[in-house]
Amino acid sequence: MVVLAAYADDVRSAVLAAKRPGGELPAAGLATLLARKHAGQIAAWGIDLIVPVPMHWTRRILRGTSAADGLARGVAAALDLPRRTALVRRRATRMQNELEPAARRANVRDAFRATAVAAGRRVLVVDDVTTTGGTLSACRQALVAAGAAAVYAAAVARADAAEPASG
């Protein structure tokens, strides 16, 4: 897993801006920084597909945007790699930041399904914030079950598990 920075100060403000309608510019900037910082590592992994962590369709309608999708688009553009929707959130889950760290993995267990586009590919899953890694782990399990050759993760920010990320 690669991470741009800690979930604090200006990075936190930019992530929160990316989560709101009209947040395409902050998302693009964060994605570019993430891709530049870790271009060598991502190249070494042999990534051939960028995939965002999906939101459930009801949350996407309410929020009006998906930060992870915008970030994945930006990372894909910066690295000249394809971005595809290879994951679907099968059920609405509680917001991870509303839960204690110990409950987060259970919250997203079996919440994702991967499409056939992941089969045989080396996938980079992109998210905005990671705390315990529960969401990224659940995404990885779905992608591996769909036949992904390898799954790696990238997040803009890492939050301290003792202080849940808001958003």
116: DSSP letter: G
The pLDDT tens digits of the residues spanning 98-125 come to 788 888 887 788 999 999 999 999 999 9
Structure tokens at 99: 């839960």
User: What pLDDT was estimated at residue 9?
Assistant: 96
User: What pLDDT was estimated at residue 80?
Assistant: 98
The pLDDT tens digits of the residues spanning 59-101 come to 888 888 899 999 999 999 999 999 999 999 998 887 788 788 8
Residue 158 binned pLDDT confidence (cut-offs 50, 70, 90): very high
Helix axes of 134-145 and 101-108: crossing angle, nearest 10 degrees: 30
User: What pLDDT was estimated at residue 161?
Assistant: 65
Residue type, 73: R
User: What pLDDT was estimated at residue 130?
Assistant: 94
Structure tokens at 31: 């994605």
Residue 150 binned pLDDT confidence (cut-offs 50, 70, 90): very high
pLDDT over 80 at 157, yes or no: yes
Is the pTM higher than 0.85? The answer reads: yes
- Considering only residues 162 and 148, tell me which one the structure prediction assigns the higher pLDDT: 148
Answer whether 115's CB lies under 8 Å from 143's CB.
no
Between vectors from CA 26 to CA 127 and to CA 142, what angle results, nearest 5°?
15
Q: Which domains does the chain have, with CATH numbers?
A: 2-158 (3.40.50.2020)
The pLDDT tens digits of the residues spanning 19-61 come to 999 999 999 999 999 999 999 999 999 999 999 999 888 888 8
